[in-house]
Amino acid sequence: MTIPANVSVGTIQANVTFTDDQIPVQQSAMYFPVNNDVIVTVQYPTIGSGTGCQSEFYYKADRTTPDTDPSTVSYAVPVTDDPQNPGATMSQFTIDAADNAESGAYWWRIDFLDAGSNRTSVGFGPLIVEAV
Residues 7-33: tens digit of each pLDDT: 666 544 444 444 444 444 457 888 888
pTM equals 0.83
Residue 102 burial by CB count (10 A; 0-12/13-18/19+): exposed, middle or buried? Answer: exposed
Is pLDDT of 131 > 80? yes
Cβ atoms 19, 2 nearer than 8 A: yes
- Using CA atoms, how far apart are residues 77 and 69, in angstroms rounded to an integer? 20
Structural domains counted in the chain: 1
Which domain does 49 fall in, by range? 5-130
Strands 119-130 and 30-33: parallel
Between 132 and 25, name the one with better pLDDT.
132
Tell me, what CATH number does 116's domain have?
2.60.40.10
The values of phi and psi at residue 25, to 5°, are -75, -40
Q: Which of 115, 124, 94 is nearest to 7 (CA)?
A: 124
Winning range, highest mean pLDDT, from 3-7, 16-20, 103-107: 103-107
Dihedral sign from CA coordinates of 113, 116, 117, 118:
negative
